[in-house]
Structure 1
Amino acid sequence: MTAYKDVFGARATLQGTFGTVHYYRLGTLAQRGVSGLERLPFTVKIVLENLLRHADGDIITEDDILSLANWTPGNATTSEAEYPMLPGRVLLQDFTGVPAVADLAAMRSAVSRMNGDPKKINPLVPADLVIDHSVQVDTFGSTLAFGRNVEREYERNSERYALLRWAQQAFDNFRVVPPGTGIVHQVNLEYLASVVMTKQEDGTTVAFPDTLVGTDSHTTMVNGLGVLGWGVGGIEAEAVLLGQPLYLLTPEVIGMRLTGNLPEGATATDLVLTVTQILRKRGVVAKFVEFTGPGLSQLPLADRATIANMSPEFGATATLFPVDAETLRYLRDTGRDPKLVELIEHYTKAQGLFRTDESPEPLFDDLIELDLGSIEPSLAGPRRPQDRVAMHDLGQTFRTAYADRLKASESNGHAEQKKGDVPVEIAGIQTHLKHGSVAIAAITSCTNTSNPAVMIAAGLVAKHAVERGLSVNPTVKTSLAPGSRAVIDYLNNADLLPYLEALRFHLVGFGCTTCIGNSGPLSEPVAEAVQENDLVVAAVLSGNRNFEGRIHPQVRASFLASPPLVVAYALAGTVDIDLTEEAIGTDINGDKVYLRDIWPTQEEVRRVVTKTVTPEIFKENYSRVFEGDEHWQALSNSTGELFEWDTNSTYIQEPPFFQGMSGEPAPIKDIQNARVLVMVDDSITTDHISPAGSFAANSPAGQYLIEHGVERRDFNTYGARRGNHEVMVRGTFGNIRLRNRLTPDKEGYYTLHLPDGEQTTIYDASVRYQQEGVPLLVLAGKEYGSGSSRDWAAKGPLLLGIRAAIAESFERIHRSNLVGMGILPLQFRPGENKESLGLTGHETYDILGIAQGLKPRQEITVKVTREDGSSFTFQTIARLDSAIDVVYYKNGGILPTVLRRLMEA
C-alpha cells in the first residue's frame, strides 16, 4: 500500500506558510450517513483517519471504515471486527532494536540463500533507533563519571554498535541516534515526533497524524503530545517495518476526566502514581485511555507525558492527551519549526482533532473522574509500580513488606543486626547500614527526566539542603542520568547543577540506567555488608519499573519517586522514615531540618523553569543529533547489502529462526506428550522471563561466556547480549527471583527434569528434553508476561522448546509476541486455574484439536495424564485473537509469514 486511492473522495487541501498540503477529511464520512463524529474519542478518530487514507478496497475496505466510524460506547466488547492500521513510523531502542536489526539482516541472508533479492528486506516506513539502554553506572559521584561510563560503554558494545552502523548504510528509511544523546522516549517527545507527518504522493504533499509503534512499552510517552503510538514486541515492529498492517480489534476507550489543580507540595510524579493505581485497579489492560475534562487545561504537557509514559504500568495500550493550545506551546518551547506548528494547528482543527474547553466531550466506554486537588506526595513499591504508597506510610509499608526477613535477621545471633546497625567504612568514613538503608538513589528514566518542573525541583531541593549543611551518606550510590542533554543545559542555566553535585548527584550518562537494571555495582564495602548480614536495603529512583531483581540483585526493596524525593531520601539515608513528621537531617547549627524546610514552592519552580528552559537549548542540542561523538565516528563501518556474520562474536550471531526455512509452512499438529518446564504464579513479568540486568558467572549464560574466553568484568548485561541467541536462551527464565513451583525450595533458574525428578537449570533441562523429543509448556497465573515488551521473552522460550503457555491471563504485548514466535497462548476458562484443576506440573499434557484447523479464540482441549496413569481433560481458550494471528501461528510466527510473502512478491 504505497499509494493512496481516495476510495471515499475525501481528499481536501489546506494552505498556510507551510505551503499547500492535501489531507483526507474525516468530515466527508457525514455524506455516507455517519453522524456523531464530533463525539468520537480522539483515539478512534486517529485510527479512522488511518483507515480512510489507506483504503484500497482490498486490505482496507469501505465496510471497515464505516464500521469504525459508527463506533459507539460498549460495542468494543461485542464487535469481532479488526482493523488493519499502518503506523507512520517505527521507533526502536537498542536493547530491542539490535535483535530486530539482526533479524532483518538474517532475513536478507535467508533470501540470498534462496536466490532472492536481499533488497526486498528493507524498512518500508521510516524508522529511528536511539541507542540509550547500554550505558551502566560503573563510575559515580565524580565529575569524571560521565566520560568513564561512556568509554566503558563503547568497550562493551562496539560489536553491537558496528551492526547498527552497517544498518545505517544498508537500509533505506533507517536512522540511528548514537549513544550519549538521550533516552528514546524523551528524544521522541522533544525532537522526533512531529504530531502531523507529511509524505510526498504523486508530486503533492499529504498531511496526516503522526502515528507509530515502538519496541519499548513506554513508547506511549509521546501520547502526551497528542501522538498515538504504543509499544509492540520487536517481532511485531519488524513486520510493520516491512510494510505489514498492524491489526487492531475495535478500540475500547476509557475516559479519565480531570478537574481542579495539583495542590502545593504535590508533583507530576505523585499524580502519575495515583493514576497508575486507579487505572490498574479499574482494569484497563489492552484498552485505550484518553484524558478529558477542564483540569486538562491546567496540566502542562510534560506532566501529560509523565502520565502517558506509565501506560504499561496500568496496562493500557495507549493513553492519549488530545492536541490543544498547551501542545502548541510545548512545540514552540522545544524549538520546533514555526511552519510545522502552524500546520499542526490548521490540520488538527480542520479534522476535529484539536481540543478546547468548549469542545464537546467525547463519549467513552467508561469514564473515571479524578480531582487533581486530591493528589498527595507518594512513592510506589517495594516491588510493583502500581502499588502506590503515601509518603507518610513509607516506613510502615517497608516494615510490613519485609517483616519475615527483618524478624529472621534479629534472631540470627549478630549483635549488630539486633541493634539494626552494621558498621561500614567507606572512603575513609566510618558509617553504618541497616534494614531500610538507601543503597541506590537515582535520578533516572524518561518518565521524569523529561519533565523540567520535577528536575528543577530536584535541583532546588539540593540547593536548599546544601545551604543548610546537609549531605548524603557515602553508602548511597547516587546518580543523575537525564533523558536528554537539554536537561543538563537548563540545570546549568539555573545554577542548580553544582548543588546536585555537592550531594554527589553527578552526571553519569544520557540514557536508561538504574531503571532497567544498569545500576552498576554497589561500592564494595556496601556490597559486602549487605551480603554478609542479609540486609534488606532499598533503591529510590525516579523510574517506572521496580520489579523484583530488576534494579540491582542485592537491593530487595525498590521505590519509585519524583526526582526531588529521590534527593530527599538520599539525604535521609533510609526508607524506614516518615518524612512528613521526622527530620531529614541536622544542619550546621545542630538544628533539625525537615523536608518542608527544603521543599520548593510551585511558584519558585515555575519561576526558574520559565527563566531557564528555552527553545534555544533544544534547537542547539538536536541540531547534531545523528552525528555522534568521537567514539561513534571511530567505530568500524562495514558496508554492503549483506551483513558479514562473525562466528567468533559473543555479541552478534545470526539468529536461527530462518535457517532451513521452506517456501511453504508445514501443516500444524497437535502437541503431544508435553512436559511442564516452568510453573509460576501471578504477575510473572518479562523481567522474570528475559531479564535485562547482570548475570552471575555460575549461571548458564555466564558459563557460556567463560567457555568462549570472556572475562567476568566483560560480561555486560543480558540486554546488551540480545544479539546473541546462545546467551539469551541460557538466560531465559534466568531471573534470580523467579519462583518455579517445580522447585519450591529454590529461587532462580531451576526446574526438574521429568519423569526422573532431577533438579537442574531450566536451560540444561530444556536441552535434555529437546534431545528426547519432548515438547514443553509453561503453566502460569494472571497477567503472565506483564512489564517491558521484550521480544526475547518469546524468542527465548521458543528456543527452549516451549510450544504453548497456559495462563489465567496474558499481558497484551507478550501474548502478541508469543503468537509472533509461533508459541500457542492458551487461557484457562473463567473460574479455572492450575490450582482448581489440581495441576502439579509433574503430568504429561496433550493439546488436542490444533491439527483440525484453528479459528480465533476457539476452545482447545488439554488432556492431562498424571504420574499414576490416570487422566482428565479441561478446556482452554486459544488466544489467537484475530484471523491474522491464526495465519501467523500456522506459519510459525510473524517473520516467516512476512518473509514468505516478500519472496512471492
Structure 2
Amino acid sequence: MRPIEETGIGALIIIALYMLLYICPYIERRLFRRNPSTNRMGSRLSREEMEVAFQDVRPGRLSRMGTVAKVAGGGGDVFRVKKVRRIGADGTAERFGGGERDGETDTVTPSNMDDTMERGATRMGGAGRSESSLHPLVQFVDSLSFIETTLPRPAPALTPPESPKETLAKRWTASPALLHVPSPNPQQPRQQEQAHLQDPFAEPAELLPPLAINQNSKAAVRTSSLLDNDTLQRLVTKSGQAAIHGTRAREEAPERVAASYYSYVPGQSEETSMFSEQEMKLMRVEEQYIAKMDDEMTIRPGDQVLVEVQYADGGCGAAKNSAYLKSLPTRSFASIADKKVALSTFEPNQYVNYQRIEDNLKIVRDRLGHPLTLAEKIVYGHLDNAKEQDIKRGSSYLKLRPDRVACQDATAQMALLQFMSAGLPTVAVPTTVHCDHLIEAQIGGEKDLARANEINKEVYDFLATCTAKYGIGFWKPGSGIIHQIILENYAFPGGLMIGTDSHTPNAGGLGMVAVGVGGADAVDVMANIPWELKCPKVIGVKLTGRLNGWTSPKDVILKVAGILTVKGGTGAIVEYYGPGVDSISCTGMATICNMGAEIGATTSLFPFNERMGDYLRATKRADIADYARSFRHNLTPDEGARYDQVIEIDLNTLEPHINGPFTPDLATPISKFAKTVEEKGWPAEMKVGLIGSCTNSSYEDMERAASLAKQALAAGVTAKAKFVITPGSEQIRATIARDGHVETFEKIGGVVLANACGPCIGQWDRQDVKKGEKNSIVTSYNRNFTGRNDANPATHAFVTSPDLVTAMVFSGDLRFNPLTDTLKTADGKDFKFEAPGGNELPPRGYDPGVDTYQAPPQNRASVNVAVDPQSNRLQLLTPFKPWNGKDYEDIPVLIKVLGKCTTDHISMAGPWLKYRGHLDNISNNMLIGAINIENNKANSVRNELNGEYAPVPAVARAYKAANIPWVVIGDENYGEGSSREHAALEVRHLGGVAVIVKSFARIHETNLKKQGMLPLTFANPADYEKIDPQDHVSILGLTTLSPGKPVTLRVHKKSTGKHVDITLNHTFNEGQISWFKAGSALNKMAKEAADRA
C-alpha cells in the first residue's frame, strides 16, 4: 500500500489538472478577447460561415461537417463546441445544447454530424434539438449564436498552407483572415495585403465566396473595436441583412449603410488606411455602392478613410469611445445610380431607378421622423417633390412619378384615343399594351384565338399601329393575360406601376406597388404629368407559421377578404410581413396581391425576399435580383413601422376556403362549407370547374392541379363536372405542355382555353345551361359578381384555390371535402386524395413558346393611325363641355340604385367589350345591371317626360336630347370592381352631372372626377333614405367649390311639394376642381398644351 502522502499528492495533482482543464478555456477567452492576432472567440455564425462549414447544404437538410470543409489546427475532423445558445426574437439568449454545464464540450465528427433533423438545427454531437419549425438552414444560420471554439490558434502567416481545405478552415476560424487586420507595418505593400485576402490557394469560388463572415457586433467580434449603436444598425451583411448588436440578424431597412469591415493598426487610436477591392467585396459595395458612412460620404474602392478605434470593456459591453468613420478632404462619391440595370429585356435603355427612392427617402425620413412601412418607402420614394409634398396618410394627395404604365386591350382603346387627343409625339414612360380581354372562350385555345383575330381585326390593327406610333410595347393576342406578362417580364421590387385594370396589384408579388387606374390616369403619366393618389393608409397583415398540405396562397386572401369585406381595404395599401412570408412562393404572393382588389385596397405587396430573387432568376432577370438584394434595406419595412390596422394569420392553422356566391368576401372554411350549402339552399351540383386566370395560372398552380388529376387517373376516378383550364401566358402554356400537364388535364376531359382572360371577365359562350337556370360553378378566379362569368344572374359562382377546384371536379358536388371525404372508384373501392404537390418553378426552366411581342419601330414618324368614321368599334373622342359656372337646379334622378352596384352593373363586360373603343355604342349598356329601388328591376326606370318605363340608357338619351342634366343616387362602395373608366365616361356622355352615394370605391371616384363629374357622398349615410326616385334635386354651392367645403343637396319632394336640404361631402382638391370646371382632366391637359405651343 502506498503512503498516504503519495496518494494525497497524486490526488492533488489530478484535481489541479482537472481545474486547469476547466478554467483554461475561460482564461483563454479572457486573454484572447483583446488580442487582434488570436482566434476569434464567441463569434456568431453567418450564412456564409455555415456555407463554408456545411458544404452541399440542401433544403430540409444540413450536411456533414468535416468531410468537405475540415476545421483544421490540430483537431482534424473534430470540432469542439463550447456553448450553443439560441437567440430568441427579443434578442435574449437561451442555452439549448452543449451539455449540462457551460464548461462541458461536445464533439462534432463526420459521423455524428450526419445526424440531421427534419426541422430545426443539426444536433451538435448529442446536444439538444431546436424546437423551431423554421426552415432548417434558416433556423441554424439565423438562430445559433455564441459558438465558442477550443481549437488551437493558427499562426498568422502569408505563406501558403499545406492544402486548400486547411486554408478554408483557417479563414473560418482565424481572426486575421476573417476581420482583415492589416499587417502591423502600415507601410506594407498593398498588393501583399491583397494577396493575403484573396488567397490564391483557397478553394474555388463555390466553396469560398467573398466571406462577409463578421456580423459586426458587440458580442460577436471580441478582438475588434466596437461600433456605436447608430452605426451598428447600418451594418449590412453579404446576404443583405442588418445585424444589431450581433445578437441576431434582422432584416433592417437603414437609410444608409456603414462599412462592415475596416482597417486599423492595433495600439493606435487613428490611422489612415486604403480599402482594397477585396475589402469592398466584403462590404458588399464593390458593384452596388451602398456603403455610406454618413450623410456626406460614400466609400468606393481605393478611397481613403480615417478610423478611430477604442476597445470596449470586456469585449461585449458598451463602448467607451464609439468608433467612427469620416472622410478625408479629397473624396470621390458613388451612388446607387452608378449601377445601371435595365427595366426589362425589352427595354434595354430604360433603367431601374433606385437612386430616386434613396434620395427621396432621406428627405422623407428627416421630415416624418418615424420608421416607415414598405408601402411608404416605395410610394414616398416616387414622390415628384419630396421636400414640399404634404404627406398625411388618408388625407393629403400625393403627386408621384410611376416607373411604367400597363394597359389591357379593352381599356387601352379609350386610353390611347385620349392620348392621341393630347397631341404628344411619344409616351414619357415605358408603356405596354396587352391583348387579353377580347378573346371569347367557345371551343378551345387555337380555334378561339383564330376567331378572335378575325372578329377583332379592326381593334387589333388600331392598337398595333397606335402603339408603334407612340413608342409603346405591344403584346399580341395569344401572348397571355396582362398581369402574368407583367410578372414574367416587367415587375421589379421597389417599382411603382399603374395599370388600366383593377388586378394590376398582382405585381405586388414581386414587391412592386402596382395600382389599378382608369385610362385618364394612365394618359396623365404617359404625358409626363405626375400621377395623383390620395396618400394611402397601410394595413399590415402579419403571417406566422407555414403553408402546408391543402392550404394555398389563395386561402390567405380569401381569409383576408372575409375579415375586411369588399370595402375594408378602401384607401389603403395592404402590406404582408412576418415569418410566414418566406413559406410562400413569389407567384403565390402575386395571387394574394391580385385579389387585394376584391377588398377595395389601393394595392397589396410583399417585402423582397429570396423567393422573389429565385423567380427573377428563373425569368432571366438575375441582374435585377442582385440589384434588389443590394437595395434590400429599402425593400423591407423598418422595424417599428406603424400600421393603421394589423391582422394576424397563422398559416399553420389556416384552412382552405371557398368564397361566394355573388360576392368575393363571403368566406367559408372548407370544414363548414357542406353544411353552409345545405343551410343556404345553394345548388349543390357543381356544373363546371374552372382554373387559371391572372390570379392562379402560375406553374406551381398548374403542377399542383395536375398532381391531383394524376392521382385520380391512377385510381380510375373520372370527372363528374366539366373542367376548364386557362393558362396565364404563352410561357406558362408552353411550359406545362412540355412537362406533360396539358396532356394530364386533357386525359380527365379538361379543355385548355386560349392564353387570355376568357370566362373570368365574362368572355364565355356557355352552352350547358339556359339563362336564368340556377346552377353552381367553382373557379380559381378573383370575382364572382352576379352574372360576371357567364351573363347568367342565376349562376352561383364560388371562388377558391385551383387545388380545391380540381379535386371537386371529380365529385361534381359542392359538399365534397377532399381533405376528409372519399370517392368511389370504378370497382367500388374508396379513394381519397393526398394533398397536392408541385414545384414552384419548372425544374427544366420556362419554355417561352411562340414570340408574341411587337417592339416599337425605330422610324415611328411614318406610322399612320387611322380610325374609320363609319366604324362601330372605334370612335374618335369629342371633348366634353366645360362647366357653365352655375349650380345645377331642379334636375331629375335618373335612377336610385338599390344595394350593390359594381362597375359590372354600371358598364357590363362580356359581349360589350367589343365596343370599348366606341363611347357612344358602349353607352347603350350604362347601368343596365343596376337594380332600380322603385320597382326592384334591372334596366327599367321611369321617363318623366312621358311617364313610361324604359331601359336606363334610353331614358338618359331622352333627357340629354332635351338638354336636361340628371343624377344617380347610390348605396355603399359604389363602383367597386374593375378599373374600367367607361363606367364614368358613359354616365358623362349621356348627360349625367353627379353621382351621389353613401361611399365610393377608390378607382371609380377618381374616374368620375377625371371626366368632369361630381362624385359626392352623404355626410349622413341615412340621408339616402330621404330621396325618392321621383324627386328632383338641386346641387348648391358649386360656385364656391373648394377642398374640404361641403355642398348642399336640396331635395324637391314630389310627394309634398316641399324641399329638404342635405349636406354632401367631396374629396376634391384644387387640381381636381379645375378638371370639373374645364369639363374633364383631358380638356385641361389639351388647353395647357395649346397654351404652351
- Tell me which of 569, 572, 575 is aligned to 2:811: 572
Instruction: Give the secondary-structure state (helix, strand or coil) at the position aligned to 2:810.
Output: helix
- Number of aligned positions between the proteins: 751
Which residue of structure 2 aligns with residue 759 of structure 1? 949
Instruction: Give the secondary-structure state (helix, strand or coil) at the position aligned to 2:1004.
Output: helix
- The answer to whether the aligner puts 1:445 opposite 2:693 as a matched pair is yes
- Tell me which of 614, 619, 644 is aligned to 2:866: 644
Which residue of structure 2 aligns with residue 62 of structure 1? 387
Instruction: Give the secondary-structure state (helix, strand or coil) at the position aligned to 2:555.
Output: helix
- One-letter amino acid of the structure 2 residue matched with residue 469 of structure 1: G
Which residue of structure 2 aligns with residue 472 of structure 1? 719
- The answer to whether the aligner puts 1:224 opposite 2:509 as a matched pair is yes
Which residue of structure 2 aligns with residue 706 of structure 1? none
Which residue of structure 2 aligns with residue 457 of structure 1? 704
Counterparts in 2 of 1:654-803, with a 5 A limit? 654-657=876-879, 665=882, 667-693=884-910, 717-735=911-929, 738-744=930-936, 746=937, 748-754=938-944, 756-803=946-993
* C-alpha distance in structure 2 between counterparts of 1:865 and 1:646, whole Å: 46
* C-alpha distance in structure 2 between counterparts of 1:866 and 1:588, whole Å: 69
1:258-306 Cα deviation digits (max 9, x unpaired):
1111232211222221122223389221111211212222222122111
* C-alpha distance in structure 2 between counterparts of 1:820 and 1:35, whole Å: 31
Give the 3 Å change call, closer, same or farther, for CA 9–167 of structure 1 in structure 2: farther
- Tell me which of 647, 651, 659 is aligned to 1:380: 659
- One-letter amino acid of the structure 1 residue matched with residue 879 of structure 2: F
* C-alpha distance in structure 2 between counterparts of 1:323 and 1:61, whole Å: 24
Give the 3 Å change call, closer, same or farther, for CA 743–757 of structure 1 in structure 2: farther
Instruction: Give the secondary-structure state (helix, strand or coil) at the position aligned to 1:440.
Output: strand
Counterparts in 2 of 1:873-892, with a 5 A limit? 873-892=1060-1079
Structure number, greater radius of gyration:
2
Which residue of structure 2 aligns with residue 211 of structure 1? 496
1:482-516 Cα deviation digits (max 9, x unpaired):
11123234434543322211122232100101110
* C-alpha distance in structure 1 between counterparts of 2:971 and 2:368, whole Å: 41
Which residue of structure 1 aligns with residue 312 of structure 2? none
Normalised by the length of structure 2, the TM-score is: 0.65
Which residue of structure 2 aligns with residue 507 of structure 1? 752
Give the 3 Å change call, closer, same or farther, for CA 844–882 of structure 1 in structure 2: same
Which residue of structure 2 aligns with residue 810 of structure 1? 1000
Which residue of structure 1 aligns with residue 43 of structure 2? none
Which residue of structure 1 aligns with residue 1028 of structure 2? 840
Larger RCO (alpha carbons 8 Å, 6+ apart): 1
- Tell me which of 144, 162, 177 is aligned to 2:475: 177
C-alpha deviation, 1:395, in angstroms: 3.8
Which residue of structure 2 aligns with residue 101 of structure 1? 416
Give the 3 Å change call, closer, same or farther, for CA 169–465 of structure 1 in structure 2: same
C-alpha deviation, 1:579, in angstroms: 4.8
Instruction: Give the secondary-structure state (helix, strand or coil) at the position aligned to 1:103.
Output: helix
- Tell me which of 570, 581, 587 is aligned to 2:825: 587
Could you say which structure has the higher helix fraction? 1
Instruction: Give the secondary-structure state (helix, strand or coil) at the position aligned to 1:40.
Output: coil
* C-alpha distance in structure 2 between counterparts of 1:767 and 1:131, whole Å: 32
C-alpha deviation, 1:62, in angstroms: 2.3
* C-alpha distance in structure 2 between counterparts of 1:365 and 1:447, whole Å: 27
CA contact (8 A) 1:541 1:563 kept: yes
- The answer to whether the aligner puts 1:563 opposite 2:780 as a matched pair is no
Instruction: Give the secondary-structure state (helix, strand or coil) at the position aligned to 1:793.
Output: helix
- The answer to whether the aligner puts 1:857 opposite 2:1044 as a matched pair is yes
Give the 3 Å change call, closer, same or farther, for CA 32–367 of structure 1 in structure 2: closer
Which residue of structure 1 aligns with residue 270 of structure 2? none
Instruction: Give the secondary-structure state (helix, strand or coil) at the position aligned to 1:447.
Output: coil
Percent identity (aligned) = 26
Instruction: Give the secondary-structure state (helix, strand or coil) at the position aligned to 2:709.
Output: helix
CA contact (8 A) 2:462 2:867 kept: no
Counterparts in 2 of 1:330-409, with a 5 A limit? 330-336=615-621, 338-346=622-630, 348-349=631-632, 352-355=633-636, 360-402=639-681
- One-letter amino acid of the structure 2 residue matched with residue 161 of structure 1: Y
Which residue of structure 1 aligns with residue 604 of structure 2? 319
CA contact (8 A) 2:693 2:780 kept: yes
CA contact (8 A) 2:719 2:810 kept: yes
1:169-188 Cα deviation digits (max 9, x unpaired):
2112x111101011100110
- Tell me which of 853, 862, 865 is aligned to 1:626: 853
- The answer to whether the aligner puts 1:34 opposite 2:369 as a matched pair is no
Give the 3 Å change call, closer, same or farther, for CA 689–36 of structure 1 in structure 2: closer
C-alpha deviation, 1:833, in angstroms: 3.3
Which residue of structure 1 aligns with residue 400 of structure 2? 85
CA contact (8 A) 1:323 1:353 kept: no
C-alpha deviation, 1:543, in angstroms: 0.4
C-alpha deviation, 1:252, in angstroms: 1.4
* C-alpha distance in structure 2 between counterparts of 1:187 and 1:33, whole Å: 35
- The answer to whether the aligner puts 1:162 opposite 2:461 as a matched pair is yes
Counterparts in 2 of 1:823-834, with a 5 A limit? 823-834=1013-1024
C-alpha deviation, 1:49, in angstroms: 2.1
* C-alpha distance in structure 2 between counterparts of 1:441 and 1:22, whole Å: 43
- Tell me which of 831, 834, 857 is aligned to 1:599: 834
CA contact (8 A) 1:333 1:614 kept: no
C-alpha deviation, 1:550, in angstroms: 0.6
* C-alpha distance in structure 2 between counterparts of 1:823 and 1:752, whole Å: 23
* C-alpha distance in structure 2 between counterparts of 1:263 and 1:339, whole Å: 32
Instruction: Give the secondary-structure state (helix, strand or coil) at the position aligned to 1:63.
Output: coil
* C-alpha distance in structure 1 between counterparts of 2:726 and 2:883, whole Å: 49
- One-letter amino acid of the structure 2 residue matched with residue 560 of structure 1: V
- The answer to whether the aligner puts 1:898 opposite 2:1088 as a matched pair is no
- One-letter amino acid of the structure 2 residue matched with residue 345 of structure 1: R
* C-alpha distance in structure 1 between counterparts of 2:365 and 2:498, whole Å: 32
In structure 1, stretches of 5+ residues that fail to align are: 1-7, 55-59, 69-74, 109-117, 140-144, 196-208, 404-434, 694-716
* C-alpha distance in structure 1 between counterparts of 2:713 and 2:951, whole Å: 50
C-alpha deviation, 1:325, in angstroms: 2.4
- One-letter amino acid of the structure 2 residue matched with residue 740 of structure 1: N
* C-alpha distance in structure 1 between counterparts of 2:743 and 2:363, whole Å: 63
CA contact (8 A) 1:681 1:782 kept: no
Which residue of structure 2 aligns with residue 412 of structure 1? none
Which residue of structure 1 aligns with residue 321 of structure 2? none
Which residue of structure 2 aligns with residue 148 of structure 1? 447
C-alpha deviation, 1:477, in angstroms: 4.3
In structure 2, stretches of 5+ residues that fail to align are: 1-294, 298-332, 343-350
Which residue of structure 2 aligns with residue 300 of structure 1? 585
* C-alpha distance in structure 2 between counterparts of 1:138 and 1:654, whole Å: 31
Give the 3 Å change call, closer, same or farther, for CA 386–18 of structure 1 in structure 2: closer
Give the 3 Å change call, closer, same or farther, for CA 282–150 of structure 1 in structure 2: closer
CA contact (8 A) 1:861 1:874 kept: yes
1:158-177 Cα deviation digits (max 9, x unpaired):
011011111122112x1111
* C-alpha distance in structure 2 between counterparts of 1:322 and 1:571, whole Å: 38
CA contact (8 A) 1:457 1:600 kept: no
CA contact (8 A) 2:616 2:624 kept: no
